[in-house]
Structure 1
Amino acid sequence: MIHFRAIGKIMGGLLFLLGTLMLPASAISWFYREDSSPILISAAISLFMGLVLFFSFSKQDQLVRKREGYMIVALSWLLMTLFGMIPFILSDEVTTTADAIFETVSGLTTTGASILTDIESMPKGLLFWRSMTHWIGGLGIIVLTVAIFPLLGIGGIELFVAESPGPTSDKVHPRISETAKRLWYIYVGLTVLCALLYWAGGMTLFDAFNHSFATLATGGFSTKNSSFAYYNSAFLEYVAILFMFLAGTNFTLLYFGLVGKFRRIIRNDEFKTYALVVATLIVAVLVPIYSQSGSEFESAFRKSAFQVVSIITTTGFITDDYTQYGSGVTFTFFMLLFLGGCAGSTAGGIKFIRHTVFLKNSWLEFKRIVHPRAIVPLIINGDRVTGRIINNIMNFLLIYLLTFVLGVLIISLLGYDLATSLGSVATCLGNVGPAIGKVGPVDNFAFFTPGAKIVLSVIMLLGRLELFTILILFTPFFWRAN
């Protein structure tokens, strides 16, 4: 039996929190003497509906198990999309429902793909809310709620497992609410530090916080039409590279680094693979950029590092059009859409831990073939990986591939060329932003039909919630009574 009372009450708490987080955007509108009513009305609607749901259910029947956890996560993202898009609709800056859904989902899933063609003409309050959707979705509003609303009396671990991006068992504290709080302290602290450095580098305070939200959430929404390239600043780009890399790192490792447990970082197989791949690809892409662009070495290195880190961490900021350097570089960046950052980071994508397990297990399979009676365990971070985890990762990779193929088929049947279909589905499923084809680094998604935008929005949600969280709701045994 599913405890719907608990789900309803938690949905109320989430909507109330969402409405509260809209208020800073309305304050921005007031400060810049814009019409703040669209965001204020949206906040009032969210707050009111949140209170109605919260107090409509008794304090009893509060048990949250795995099934309730998955339902809460799926429904929360649906409600956040429906209520989060109201400011876009009321402001008349986004003209269609499909556009409002796409822009909101893209923000909340930290994809950063946009249908806006003239960002700089948008009201600043709405731009701030647009960036705020990144920040909310970064570590997940569910984790934030578990940290702030322990009074809900729910089994927080179920929500944390369902929401947290990537398979990771690391915990910084045995109590899940304390883990969520500490991760958010790091998240908030890095956001403020990044914004201050952006401000020191020449951005306005408004732009600094907007870009900081997008950087730490690995989102990619910018307040400028030309994204990060607008500033043409080496200092700002290096700051962005550093914080994008940190945002793509498992936040529990960042915590261990802050408390001086550096061995936990050095011995982490996923982080070592992540750092090695990033460094290798920067060098690999540097060669054609330096030889073809005519730039000085430092400038070519910065272009390579910025684009590689931005795409691998699924941030999506752009300072250079990587498709101009030939098919080899273009294909390399297309493949980067399938990497993702570390598990437990704000990055999207498949995650390096899955790639690490898959490659190590595939390599060991050769040894098992030669020595069929030998017991050859897979070791990650000094621990033996169980068969259940390996099967889970293999199944995830298969479902990810099937989802990608089905998505490409649907978008192609809707009338788009193969390169655009491949790029749009890969970047939406990986929550990256720029891709190839007509959705390259200097393009956007405005030309898609409303139907295609809805399909891509669903794909973004599937990618952000790592497939199983959504797809499990469509299986018959999920709904069977225990």
Structure 2
Amino acid sequence: MVAIGPVLHIVGLLMSIMAVAMLLPAGVDLIVGNSDWEVFTGASALSLFIGVSMMLSTKSPSATNLSLRQAFLLTTLSWLTIATVAALPFAFSQLDMTVADAFFESMSGVTTTGATVIVGLDHAPPGILLWRALLQWLGGIGIIVMALAVLPMLSVGGMQLFQTEAFDAPDKVVPRAAQLAGGISGIYLAFTAICATALWIAGLPGFDAITHAMATIATGGYSTRDDSIGHYDSALVDWIVFVGMIAGSLPFVYYLRMMRGSLRPLFQDSQVKWFLAIVAIVVCTVSLWNWHVLDFAPMQSVRYAAFNMVSVMTGTGFTTTDYGNWGGFPVTLVMCLMFVGGCAGSTTCGIKIFRIQVLYATAQVQIERLLRPHGVFIPYYNRKPIPETVSESVMGFFFLYMLCFGALSAMLAFIGLDFITAVSGAATAISNVGPGLGPIIGPAGNFDSLPDSAKWLLSFGMLLGRLELFTVLVMLSPSFWRR
């Protein structure tokens, strides 16, 4: 069996961190006189007690030396535990949410999905609104550390391409994660502060500026308003958030290098070039559509297209208008963009740009081999040959991604959801985007009216997508648990 003690020790530490984080919204509710401060305080005390108890009862020298299987278990168990603990304030708040609603909202937050079941955000307690933003902010930095320190070592979905950014040895995963968290936290916090200041100068209230900045850099999408960013109807606010979403979609390890004086890696990385090229092509295409077909003003066309298409592609999920009414072409493009995502080592979701590059290079080589059977052709990524194990891993990931999407869509349809809600709901969950398509879960709706069974399924889909599928599914194999 897998030795679970060291894993529980770290999970206990994470629970303790979440308990301390709950004191922030508790303080905000106490200041404004909202009774939910008692809920946050009680949930914090319970989480801290359980977390510290787990740490003390499992303390051992091997707590920082994890095997491969322990690393898999820790990754999944961490996100499940954090989502469960974070659901407590939702479940017992004045919002009177069901268990399914509370867990859905919490899982959507920590996975930076941004799908919500809360109706009336404009009048929701400030503590709850801050807690949602905190969950996404913490989930965002957690994803960066996982992508840089854990997934390359686990060889999940081709992430071994970035093995040079992480230690090879499994027993280095925890120290490496701590080092990365320390270095990246400063940059992550600085980006959030810059974005919040810019939004405040642009006219947002201080509280809204902070919460939206946290959701922007984390590419999460939780807003304090039912109409999302569209509530402010400000071109300046739109462009500030647009820049923040782009910043959160690029590899954070390059920001670390930039701080040390090395600017070239960011602009030489092919996945960054591909990402920016796709953004430019999509924005130009949809802008022209809005201008010529929908008679939008030229600058309005660019503004709406740039914000909403990048929001979908990066999995942020903010909206400024209901793009579901733009016609068949933009809606179809939105559906495709849900799967794309951003760069590896960022806060974004989806398949990721580097995997699309590997699939493209592999397919290109296969075509060349068909035309010239006796030729020798090698796929390249970043001007380096792609190892066969990476190609196989990426193809396996892509197949499993589409399989999970299809299975989740079918299960949602089986429990009574219509076609567009089931398909877009599955896509937005497994890609951690936020809003789906259609009148129910589209940009103008939310997930509140869905049955509890659909919310549990979508919550599992969010976890699957955020942890890159294999990290969760490998534990369903009986051989994982055998010695």
For the 8 Å contact 1:106–1:457, the answer to whether it is kept is: yes
Q: What is the match of residue 256 of structure 2?
A: 255
| TM-score normalised by L of structure 1 | 0.93
For the 8 Å contact 1:108–1:134, the answer to whether it is kept is: yes
CA distance in 2, matches of 1:3, 1:435: 40
1:424 aligns with 2:425: yes
How far the C-alpha of 1:77 sits from its partner, in A, is 1.2
For the 8 Å contact 1:73–1:159, the answer to whether it is kept is: no
For the 8 Å contact 2:157–2:397, the answer to whether it is kept is: no
CA distance in 2, matches of 1:244, 1:165: 24
Structure 2, unmatched stretches of 5+, are: 168-174
Q: Cα distance 1:200–1:171, how it changes in 2: closer, same or farther (>3 A)?
A: farther
Q: Cα distance 1:170–1:243, how it changes in 2: closer, same or farther (>3 A)?
A: farther
CA distance in 1, matches of 2:466, 2:96: 23
From 89, 95, 117, the equivalent of 1:93 is 95
How far the C-alpha of 1:158 sits from its partner, in A, is 4.5
For the 8 Å contact 1:164–1:344, the answer to whether it is kept is: no
Q: What is the match of residue 476 of structure 1?
A: 478
3-state SS, counterpart of residue 64 of structure 1: coil
Q: What is the match of residue 448 of structure 2?
A: 446
How far the C-alpha of 1:172 sits from its partner, in A, is 6.3
For the 8 Å contact 2:145–2:180, the answer to whether it is kept is: no
Q: Cα distance 1:157–1:231, how it changes in 2: closer, same or farther (>3 A)?
A: closer
Q: Cα distance 1:142–1:76, how it changes in 2: closer, same or farther (>3 A)?
A: farther
Q: What is the match of residue 131 of structure 2?
A: 129
For the 8 Å contact 1:114–1:445, the answer to whether it is kept is: yes
How far the C-alpha of 1:192 sits from its partner, in A, is 1.0
How far the C-alpha of 1:480 sits from its partner, in A, is 2.2
CA distance in 1, matches of 2:132, 2:155: 21
| TM-score normalised by L of structure 2 | 0.93
Structure 1, unmatched stretches of 5+, are: 147-155
Q: What is the match of residue 15 of structure 1?
A: 15
Q: What is the match of residue 349 of structure 1?
A: 350
How far the C-alpha of 1:3 sits from its partner, in A, is 2.2
Q: Cα distance 1:462–1:422, how it changes in 2: closer, same or farther (>3 A)?
A: same
How far the C-alpha of 1:457 sits from its partner, in A, is 0.5
Q: What is the match of residue 394 of structure 1?
A: 395
Q: Cα distance 1:29–1:351, how it changes in 2: closer, same or farther (>3 A)?
A: same
RMSD: 2.1
Q: What is the match of residue 433 of structure 1?
A: 434
CA distance in 2, matches of 1:215, 1:142: 15
CA distance in 2, matches of 1:29, 1:160: 41
CA distance in 2, matches of 1:58, 1:114: 38
Please give the residue correspondences for 1:135-146 in structure 2 after superposition, counting only pairs within 5 Å. 135-140=137-142, 143=145
CA distance in 2, matches of 1:95, 1:4: 33
Q: Give 1:466's aligned amino acid.
A: E
Q: What is the match of residue 114 of structure 1?
A: 116
1:408 aligns with 2:412: no
Q: Give 1:440's aligned amino acid.
A: G
CA distance in 2, matches of 1:165, 1:446: 33
How far the C-alpha of 1:267 sits from its partner, in A, is 2.1
For the 8 Å contact 1:431–1:464, the answer to whether it is kept is: yes
CA distance in 2, matches of 1:142, 1:186: 12
Q: What is the match of residue 266 of structure 2?
A: 265
How far the C-alpha of 1:213 sits from its partner, in A, is 1.0
Q: Cα distance 1:441–1:242, how it changes in 2: closer, same or farther (>3 A)?
A: same
Please give the residue correspondences for 1:21-36 in structure 2 after superposition, counting only pairs within 5 Å. 21-35=21-35, 36=37
Deviations 1:364-386 (A, max 9, x none): 11112233333322211122110
CA distance in 2, matches of 1:76, 1:359: 34
Q: Cα distance 1:371–1:480, how it changes in 2: closer, same or farther (>3 A)?
A: farther
How far the C-alpha of 1:296 sits from its partner, in A, is 2.3
For the 8 Å contact 2:117–2:447, the answer to whether it is kept is: yes
CA distance in 1, matches of 2:281, 2:477: 41
Alignment size in residue pairs: 471
3-state SS, counterpart of residue 20 of structure 1: helix
Q: What is the match of residue 170 of structure 2?
A: none
Q: What is the match of residue 3 of structure 1?
A: 3
How far the C-alpha of 1:479 sits from its partner, in A, is 1.6
For the 8 Å contact 1:29–1:123, the answer to whether it is kept is: yes
CA distance in 1, matches of 2:391, 2:30: 53
Q: Give 1:124's aligned amino acid.
A: P
For the 8 Å contact 1:172–1:255, the answer to whether it is kept is: no
How far the C-alpha of 1:238 sits from its partner, in A, is 0.6
3-state SS, counterpart of residue 77 of structure 1: helix
Deviations 1:24-49 (A, max 9, x none): 11111122221210111111111111
Q: What is the match of residue 215 of structure 1?
A: 216
Q: Give 1:430's aligned amino acid.
A: S
Q: Cα distance 1:199–1:267, how it changes in 2: closer, same or farther (>3 A)?
A: same
Please give the residue correspondences for 1:144-223 in structure 2 after superposition, counting only pairs within 5 Å. 157-158=149-150, 161=153, 167=159, 169=162, 176=176, 177-223=178-224
CA distance in 1, matches of 2:164, 2:238: 32
Q: What is the match of residue 340 of structure 2?
A: 339
